[in-house]
Chains A and B, each alone.
Chain A
Amino acid sequence: MFQNRAEALALALPAALFAAAVFIAPVVILLSDGFRAPGGGWTVSAYTEFFSSSLNQAVFLRTLKLGALVTIVAAIIGYAAAFAIVSLEPGKKGKVTGLIVLPLMISPVARTYAWIVILGRTGIVNQAFQALGISEAPLRILFSETAIFIGLLQLFLPLMIISLISALENMPKDAIPAARVLGANWFQVFWKVILPLTKEGVVIGGTLVFTGCLTAYITPAILGGSKVLMLETLLYQQVTVSNNFVAASVIALILIVMSFAANILLKRVATARNKTRIAR
């Protein structure tokens, strides 16, 4: 450890000042806009107004609902997948993990675009449904909550799986056989042994997935269209269509508060037991 304080500040300050000037100051000003009263002074009327609109309430609740739903489903699939991967032999394990991580390297635009081909009016799903006689006319799957749900799940599932793989690997090897020998069924093994021992992993993964869903723009924009909005697409619409910067500021603060809350939770759990390495 070097002690020279001036030298340390000279090294660290350019980066900090840059982030403060380019990023923190404009964002803080933007957030303060939502509290400015028209004649000067401060007010929360923009917030009460925002939440009094039933459209805005619906978008807010939809964002929470989709975020929670994607997180829960990702956790369920994630446990199954991570469990399967951990029980593979080492060589295969690396390859399969690579395949799981691979989509993270592909542009979200490309990943979301693919769902248009799959879920569209003449897409694969509708072709299959009609060929099998499940439906006569093409179903409208695109531009719905279902489409957004599928897109978000595909986008963020790898983050959950990776978090759970490292959690499962840190679990004592003989915990499961011990519980089985003592007569626990698989449900009890999961609920009483695996879940408590991998709590941090699922919380870290869950936080990544939830904040990811909250702040995803491309997926709701492409798969939800202009009718099925989430907070991010509502913000974009408020700015570009309605020119309503106050509402944009309100939505921005809601998004920031929600993702900060999730991140604080993440930090709590991560520091509670400092052993698990955070992947992202």
Chain B
Amino acid sequence: MMARNLFIPITLGLVITFLIGPFLIIVAASFSAGETLAFPPQGFSLRWIAKVFTVESFRDSFYMSMFLAIGGTLVALILGIPASYALSRYKLPGAETIRTIVSAPIIVPGIIVGLSLLRYIVVPFQVGITLALFLAHTALILPYAVRVVSASLGNLRSDIEEAAVLLGSSRLGAFFRVVLPNIRGGIMSAFILGFVTSFNQVPVSLFLSGPGVRTLPVDMIAYMEIVFDPSVAALSALLAFMSIGIVFIAERFLGFSRYV
């Protein structure tokens, strides 16, 4: 019996150390006063955290990633909400095909999406890198938007809007006044999931970078190949706290995990 009592804390201790430990080391390393990335950190300072904000390429790529994550998710929702509604509320021939097409970007490795966009959209149609990144990130978020909104619609009884229509509301009016307010939590959850997915995404954006146009994670990889100072650690720690904060708030107020 003793063995079993020890089994649980030892197993969980080891697993959690393995999963979280490396992240804590990154956080500790970012407070180092030394010139190179090392653990245990040499002394204590905030210089690397301060440096993050002075690196110009980090700032530019941060704005780019923010723009892609917010804009891409908004467009994915504008496309995805009506599609999810059609798929869950209408008798639609070929519904399965549409669902497969819309959710395909999740199955195909991101690096292939990026490369094919570069070769067959950017080059032949002379599309700018920023627009290409925007299209790629929107396509990538679309499956998540459709899945989360569909789940949310599935939890909502469809006879409510049928009743509204019978009582004289237009289909559109019923959607905006009855359905939309009821799936608000699902839409917010889809937005957060889309934001985090897009912001952390690397492979899709790998080939889609031009002079001065890069997403933040791609920029971080490029930076750490040249400079081995703790600033990438500091930036990683800051970004991680940002993502964790967003998800924590979402869970607290929206019950995020119900939809994901």
Contacts and interface: CB of A to CB of B under 8 A. Distances in A.
A118 B7 CA distance: 27
Interface string B120-152: 110000000000000110110010001000000
A81 B17 CA distance: 12
Instruction: Name the interface size band of chain A.
Output: 35 or more
B109 A259 contact: yes
Contacts of A9: 86, 92
B12 A105 contact: no
A232 interface: yes
Contacts of B85: 11
B104 interface: yes
A217 interface: yes
A106 interface: yes
Contacts of B26: 110, 113-114, 117
Contact of B25 (A77, A114, A158, A248): A114
A88 B158 CA distance: 38
A111 B142 contact: no
Interface stretch (B43-51, B54-62, B183-191, B232-240): B232-240
B25 A124 contact: yes
Given A18-B139, A81-B12, A105 B102 contact: no
Interface stretch (A24-32, A52-60, A132-140, A198-206): A24-32
B243 A113 contact: no
B116 A30 contact: yes
A118 B39 contact: yes
Interface stretch (A35-43, A95-103, A166-174): A95-103
B83 interface: yes
A113 B37 CA distance: 10
A83 B86 CA distance: 41
Contacts of A144: none
Given A107-B217, A115-B22, A263 B82 contact: no
A148 to B, nearest CB: 15
A13 to B, nearest CB: 8
B83 A16 contact: yes
Interface in B55-96: 79-80, 82-83, 85-87, 89-93, 95
A220 to B, nearest CB: 11
A59 to B, nearest CB: 14
Contacts of A123: 39
B80 to A, nearest CB: 6
A118 B233 CA distance: 13
Nearest to B202: A218
A236 B112 contact: no
B257 to A, nearest CB: 8
Interface string A107-133: 111110111111000111000000000
Contact of A110 (B19, B105, B158, B236): B236
A81 B135 CA distance: 40
Interface in B242-260: 243-244, 247, 260
A20 interface: yes
B158 A1 contact: yes
B119 interface: yes
A90 interface: no
Nearest to A23: B139
Contact of B104 (A7, A23, A87): A23
A3 interface: yes
A110 B89 CA distance: 42
Contact of A12 (B20, B82, B109, B237): B82
Interface string B97-115: 0100110110111111101
A3 B90 contact: yes
Contact of B236 (A81, A113, A122): A113
Given A18-B142, A105-B196, A248-B115, 19 more contacts: A2-B171, A5-B90, A12-B87, A19-B139, A23-B139, A96-B16, A100-B15, A108-B217, A110-B236, A111-B22, A114-B236, A117-B25, A154-B19, A154-B22, A217-B110, A235-B112, A252-B109, A252-B112, A259-B109
Interface of B: 7-8, 11-12, 15-16, 18-20, 22-23, 25-26, 29, 37-39, 79-80, 82-83, 85-87, 89-93, 95, 98, 101-102, 104-105, 107-113, 115-117, 119-121, 135-136, 138-139, 142, 146, 158, 171, 196, 199-200, 202-203, 206-207, 217, 220-221, 224, 232-233, 236-237, 239-240, 243-244, 247, 260
Per CB-CB distance, the 8 closest pairs between chain A and chain B, nearest first, are A110-B236, A114-B22, A8-B90, A15-B83, A26-B116, A11-B86, A215-B109, A12-B86
Interface of A: 1-5, 7-9, 11-16, 18-20, 22-27, 29-30, 77, 80-81, 83-85, 87-88, 96, 99-100, 102-103, 105-111, 113-118, 122-124, 154, 157-158, 161, 214-215, 217-218, 221-222, 232, 235-236, 239, 245, 248, 252, 255-256, 259-260, 263, 279
16 contacts: A7-B86, A8-B86, A19-B102, A27-B113, A30-B115, A99-B16, A99-B20, A100-B19, A106-B23, A114-B236, A154-B18, A217-B203, A235-B115, A236-B111, A236-B206, A248-B115
